[in-house]
Amino acid sequence: MVVRVQTEDFDVGAEVNAMRLSESNIGAVVSFVGQVRDFNDGDHVGLMTLEHYPGMTEKSLAGIIEQAQARWSVLDALIIHRVGELKPLDQIVLVLVASAHRKDAFSACEFMMDYLKTEAPFWKKEQTPTGERWVEAKDSDNQSKSRWQQ
């Protein structure tokens, strides 16, 4: 299980291969990649800055992996999240989950992203033609998370 918070970009193919080849009982690897869009709430976004809470961020992400492991048969998991300045099409986040069968990996990956979106201490600030603004949290993200609590 790996958690990394970094300014540098990551190589999805290399990360998938490293996980895929690490154990011969792995039958499925699911990956989610999030990237910067060039629009949000109707405005063009030229640059995005990601702030986080060093120390808590890593614990939060590790805790999310532990919760996923408690619910599904997860053989390996990885979360990489970038911070600092990012531009449209830059990768922001990578979640990888390996399991023996696909269902566990699909569900665990979706669960981990839903919890990351609502619990991990990251904040986005975007630059639009009219100036800088902090991105507002979305209620739809809370609803996505709450379906796992039913």
Residues that bind other proteins (CB under 8 A): 34, 50-53, 55-56, 59-60, 81, 92-93, 113, 116-125, 134-137
Q: In angstroms, give the least distance from the CB of 22 to other proteins.
A: 25
Which of residues 21 and 39 has its CB atom nearest to other proteins in the complex? 39
Cβ distance to other proteins smaller for residue 26 or 62: 62
Amino acid symbol at 51 = E
Q: What spatial distance separates the first Cα and last Cα of the chain, rounded to whole Å? A: 27
Among 26, 52, 48, smallest CA distance to 36 is for 48
In this structure, are residues 103 and 74 in contact, taking their beta carbons and an 8 Å threshold? no
Shortest Cβ distance from residue 137 to other proteins (Å)? 3
**Minimum CB–partner distance for residue 51 and other proteins (Å):** 6
Q: Which residues contact 136 (CB under 8 A, 6 or more apart)?
A: none
For other proteins, the closer CB: 65 or 124: 124
